[in-house]
Amino acid sequence: MTDPKIDLIERRRSFRIDMENEPVDISWHDRDGQAHKIQCPCADFSKGGLRIIYDFAIAEDTEVTFKFQADHPDSQSLTAKVVRCNELTDGKFSIGFQLL
């Protein structure tokens, strides 16, 4: 098992790319087994994960699949899990994901 303090330090050292709200397709199943597929802006991306801004919360530990430029033939999927979901002052949610 890894030390959470060390993981936090490593995450903070990782270079983050401002994605300038590049659209990303996300799909997942909620705790009730309901399938969801959305497109939303990606706020930032790093070697360990990414963050989106969305209108609704996604539960922590939910596994999701991301796809940037889904209509491009060379587009690849990334798998991640929700590590935090914080409500913003405007009622939207900042959702952080750790790549798996």
Kindly report, residue by residue over 44-75, the tens digit of the pLDDT.
Answer: 888 888 999 999 999 999 999 998 877 778 87
Res 21: pLDDT = 66
Res 96: pLDDT = 95
| pLDDT above 90: residue 5 | no
Res 70: pLDDT = 73
Average pLDDT, the chain: 83
Res 68: pLDDT = 83
For residues 15 and 8, give the distance between their C-alpha atoms in angstroms, rounded to a whole number: 13
CATH code for residues 4-99:
2.40.10.220
Whether the CB-CB separation of 41 and 21 falls below 8 Å is answered with yes
The two most distant CA atoms of the chain are separated, in Å, by: 40
% of the chain at pLDDT higher than 70:
79
For residues 31 and 45, give the distance between their C-alpha atoms in angstroms, rounded to a whole number: 26
- Reported pTM: 0.77
Whether the CB-CB separation of 81 and 90 falls below 8 Å is answered with no
